[in-house]
Structure 1
Amino acid sequence: MKVNRVMTALLLGSLATGPLAQAQAQTKRPELPVQPSSGPMALSLPQAVRYAVQNKPSLLATRLAEQTAHAKVGETKSQGLPQVNIAANVADNFKLQKSLVDFSALGGGGSATTLTPSDIAAAQGGQTVNLGTVALPSTPVPPQAFAFGLQYAGNTSASVSQMLFDGSYLVGLKAAKVYEELSKKQTQQAEIEVAEQVSKAYYSTLVARARLKLLARNVQRLDTLLYQTDKTFKAGFAEKLDVDRLRVQRTNLVVEQQKAQRLTEVSLALLKFQMGLPQQQAVQLTDSLGAAVLDAGALRRSLGTANFNSGGGVDGLGQLPTPTAPATGAPLANQPTATNTGQPSQAQAAFNYNNRIEFSTLETQQALAGLDLANRRAGAYPTLRLTAAYGLSGSGKTASDLFGFRGPDSRNSNGYPNQNWFGFGNVGLALNIPVFDGFRRKYQVQQGRIQQQTIEKNMETLKQSIDLQDAQSRTTLINALDVLDSQQGNMALAADVARVARIKFQAGVGSNVEVITAERDLREAQTNYYGALYDALVAKVDRDKATGELYQQAK
């Protein structure tokens, strides 16, 4: 049925954020809804929006991404601070590595002392004898395996490095700030979407409840008519067919009311979901549907359009704008083009694309791409670092000997030095000059330039898309307002026809079929009115999104 189609559209579709304007008019930010100790939670639309902005899981996840971006900024800054490291190492060289050593390369053969008989006689005579040495022939010896070090070894050290110059780091600091700004804008865009979704769900529930009340009044009115007709039939002044027709009509209306009741419950569940509220939490909507009714006259004045009924300007503002007449004798190509769009002057004012969060986000991405290109170019600059290190290393035949920590003043039992730990230290500058990287940086710069050009083209496409959305939303809203006016008039006429039909039937000068037909037309007119109201509210939301006003309202 058409009624079910409209109710489903009210549930699944989007309703306007008209209440956001009401929230904007308030001087103070609405407080969060307060849940009483028992009973439902009272919710106005501003409270529902604020609750969702602070509690919806998807938006909380977006804020976590913003915190991640802030942490990345800190990570980038930390690279320019001193880097201090402490290292310690203990090793058990259970099998020492050996190396071949050619000891013969250290010198010739051996040597011997000569002692002659004359030397002996002279010595026995008390004379001083100088003994001479003779070189022995060297014997070739192959290289021998020799192990350096002891089984247990250890070392500990502390190192410090400080960046003195790095072009990529300087560019990275700027890029980090822009990246954090981009993350904040993405969070703002998510907040706008949440505010829009909650507002639509809130008014979807209000419209569903209003129509449910209307159905209840229709059932009550039909019950009254059925009771009167039944009394008339029992008195012999009506036919049983008239009573049966009304009963069939009532049965269909009750079924429709039950469906509307279920759809209203689902609509309320959708509102809780959009808010991030548990489904078991009872809520009470404090705003009325009257706050969502659009001021068609004010909207038409802001759009610079004409009234649907009169065809002239709204409230005597004048006729529809017409193009300027060309000057006599002037070529057609030289005529001004300000009115070629067919829109009035109010709609042709310069549009501020920065009102759209999508455009502002893309601008930030463009700035980030420019910094990325500068960072790739900075990779060709030299880097300079200051380095310093100090440490100790030791060794021993056993573990206890290693951890003896004997210094330069230590002596063994025989008086020989037995130091096992030795200090070392250094300080210096580390300069790195990129010379040739196989054209890798060249192609990286090309990719960065292409990325910039791609974003520029995307910005042009986005501008055209925004212009199209602006024109479409304006036309759609104007049409929706015209339909709303006509359907509101039709509903009033249908209500008057139904009232007259009932009076004629009760007076005995009208037929039962005429009453049933009039009631059916009235319900159809009511359904059409709510459908038109739904379309107008959605068109208002689209208009606010196209002009960026929804972003300002959400803030």
Structure 2
Amino acid sequence: MKNTLRVLLLAAAPGLLAPAGAALAQTTTPATLSPAGRPALAGQAAIGGLMPLSLQQAVDYAVKNKPTLLATRLGEQTARARVGEIKSAGFPQVNVAANLADNFKLQQSLVSFPVQQTVLTSSDVNAATAGERQVLTTQSLALPPQPFAFGLQYAGNAAASVSQLLFDGSYLIGLKAAKVYESLAQKQTQQAEIEVVEQVSKAYYSTLVARERLQLLARNVQRLDTVLYQTDAVFKAGFAEKLDVDRLRVQRNNLVVEQQKAQRLTELSVALLKFQMGLPQEQQVELTDALDAAVIDAGALRQRLGVGSATTGGGVSGLGAVPTVPAPAGVSPEQSRQDQQAAFSGGRTGQSAAAFNYNNRIEFSTLETQQALAGLDLANRRAGAYPRLLATAAYGFSGSSNRFGELFAFRGPDSRNSAGFANQNWFGFGNVGLSLQVPVFDGFRRRYQVQQARIAQQTVERGFETLRQSIDLQDAQSRASLVNALDVLDNQKENLALAADVARVSRIKFQEGVGSNLEVVSAETELRAAQTNYYGAIYDVLVAKVDRDKATGELYNKATK
């Protein structure tokens, strides 16, 4: 029992401070949109059928079916079983044992005992003949120790013993550690669930963006086919050069190849999503969420972050003044201005820093549980100096015989042989008692064990400051990344609108005969680049939002509510 808590601590140590899983690689791949109103399949799907899949359904399915999570939950069940093992030491311990032995050579022991010899003299005989009463004398004979064998050739016994722990300091501490250890296993499972939610969310967003880009490429091919048809007609009428038609055909061929590549990347994106969910690859899925619904309100998000838009400056030198926002109640204008400046630079404001709760991060809560276990382990080592008290009881039977068959006759105290003599061969025995074990000196082993436990506890305590700094850094990085992604999205959205307008005007000018074909090709190329950048920026914002929610400890709650 004294080593129980150490076993718990060593079993719980791996993975407590493990860093979060690597971020999912950005994959610009597409998929298909399902009609609205399809029935939801929560947590299961029939292989071969079409499975409608929203982001919430994908997360729920992954949390219930991801193989790595299932393995983690098995570890949680193992923790509960180990807790039961610890508690079982406080229940009565009952044992039944039976033994059978053939003493083919009985052990002998030397026994020394005095032998008295009666002395009969002639005078004693004469006196007795004369009718006198005579008391005979005795004398001791000096004999060497004689060997004697105790027992018979065949022997057996059966007994039942019971022991009950009355006091053990290590056991009492182990009971406290049991609940802490079970809580630790649950937190490790929750940490694994957060990783799965992050991976599935990023894979789902990647598939949404890829799907929209594939549909956009299809529209671009259709639009280019229209321009190519019109240009070919003008060429046949003699009002355009063959070079104009060839340029458009080259551009169309390149666009078709790009569309084919996007289609293959779409399939890979869906396969990645299935993998992150733990869904069989042969299961057909149909995404039900639209990208428009997934894209969050950038303005509301900026307001929550306390930053301005890229067009109003964002606090960057050379882009205009810092935008003014209403200061919270009880906050001075100067403090509000400092908070805005810190927010624009990617840091956490004074207000948000004060409100930030490290316990929202499962890593911090897990480290607190590990600290509690380390403290209990130290107390367990010190409790090794306490005495251990047990109550014991035993009852059984033992028997012996010179012949094997007679050993199982089981003759009791009322048994008699043919001559009327008792011939009992099995005898009962029983005892009750207390067992007190007092450790006196163990060669300073416990002293060094206490030192090791104390150092382990101090090591865990040193980890708190490192973890706080790591969480602060992740918070600042995720905030800065999200703000930067929002700025890029605003710029790319404006660039897309400008590129679309330039392409529209270029096509009109070409159709009216006042523009060149080369101008149309160049405008279409820039439009496609702007489209690609825009959807890439959308994906960056979605991924940055997931990272931000994870850094603040809100990802799991938002994904599972």
Give the alignment's TM-score, normalised by structure 2: 0.85
- Counterpart in 2 of 1:330? none
What is the one-letter code of the residue matched to 1:191? E
Give, in angstroms, the shift of residue 223 of structure 1: 1.3
Q: Residue deviations 1:331-367, cap 9 Å, x none?
A: xxxx999759823555443311011111011111111
Give, in angstroms, the shift of residue 539 of structure 1: 1.2
For residue 311 of structure 2, give the secondary structure of its aligned residue in structure 1.
Answer: coil
CA distance in 2, matches of 1:258, 1:448: 62
Work out which of the residue numbers 249, 269, 272 in structure 1 matches 2:271. Answer: 269
Q: Residue deviations 1:165-215, cap 9 Å, x none?
A: 111111110100000011111111111111111111112111111111111
Give, in angstroms, the shift of residue 134 of structure 1: 7.0
CA distance in 2, matches of 1:83, 1:240: 98
Q: Residue deviations 1:131-156, cap 9 Å, x none?
A: 77676895765x55433211111111
- Counterpart in 1 of 2:342? 342
Give, in angstroms, the shift of residue 229 of structure 1: 1.3
Bigger Rg, which one = 1
- Counterpart in 2 of 1:24? none
Is 1:152 aligned with 2:159? no
CA distance in 2, matches of 1:287, 1:382: 66
Is 1:356 aligned with 2:361? yes
Q: Does the Cα contact within 8 Å between 2:396 and 2:428 map onto a contact in 1?
A: yes
Give, in angstroms, the shift of residue 452 of structure 1: 1.4
What is the one-letter code of the residue matched to 1:43? L
Give, in angstroms, the shift of residue 242 of structure 1: 1.3
Q: 1:306 to 1:428 in 2, by over 3 A?
A: same
For residue 537 of structure 1, give the secondary structure of its aligned residue in structure 2.
Answer: helix
Give, in angstroms, the shift of residue 294 of structure 1: 2.3
Give, in angstroms, the shift of residue 552 of structure 1: 2.1
RMSD: 2.9
Q: Residue deviations 1:262-303, cap 9 Å, x none?
A: 111011111111111111111111111112212110111001
Q: Residue deviations 1:234-284, cap 9 Å, x none?
A: 111111111111111111111111111111101111111111111111111
Q: Residue deviations 1:508-543, cap 9 Å, x none?
A: 111111111111101111111111112111211111
For residue 417 of structure 2, give the secondary structure of its aligned residue in structure 1.
Answer: coil
Q: 1:512 to 1:226 in 2, by over 3 A?
A: same
Structure 1, unaligned stretches of length 5 or more? 1-9, 16-29, 327-334
Is 1:49 aligned with 2:51? no
Q: Does 541-550 or 34-43 show the bigger shift? A: 34-43
CA distance in 1, matches of 2:27, 2:430: 71
CA distance in 2, matches of 1:82, 1:14: 60
Q: Does 47-56 or 485-494 show the bigger shift? A: 47-56
What is the one-letter code of the residue matched to 1:500? V
- Counterpart in 2 of 1:78? 88
Is 1:106 aligned with 2:96? no
Q: Residue deviations 1:463-516, cap 9 Å, x none?
A: 111111111211111111000000011011111111111111121111111111
- Counterpart in 1 of 2:324? 318
Is 1:68 aligned with 2:78? yes
Structure 2, unaligned stretches of length 5 or more? 1-22, 29-39, 316-321, 344-348
Q: How does 1:244-393 map to 2 (within 5 A)?
A: 244-311=246-313, 318=324, 342-343=342-343, 344=349, 346-393=351-398
Q: Does the Cα contact within 8 Å between 1:198 and 1:271 map onto a contact in 2?
A: yes
Q: Does the Cα contact within 8 Å between 1:14 and 1:200 map onto a contact in 2?
A: no
The runs of at least 4 aligned residues of structure 1 exceeding 6 Å deviation read 134-137, 323-326, 335-338
For residue 164 of structure 2, give the secondary structure of its aligned residue in structure 1.
Answer: strand
CA distance in 2, matches of 1:304, 1:434: 64
- Counterpart in 2 of 1:465? 470
Work out which of the residue numbers 225, 231, 239 in structure 1 matches 2:241. Answer: 239
Is 1:437 aligned with 2:442? yes
CA distance in 1, matches of 2:281, 2:389: 60
Give, in angstroms, the shift of residue 117 of structure 1: 11
What is the one-letter code of the residue matched to 1:456? E
Q: Does the Cα contact within 8 Å between 1:113 and 1:134 map onto a contact in 2?
A: yes
CA distance in 2, matches of 1:145, 1:186: 69
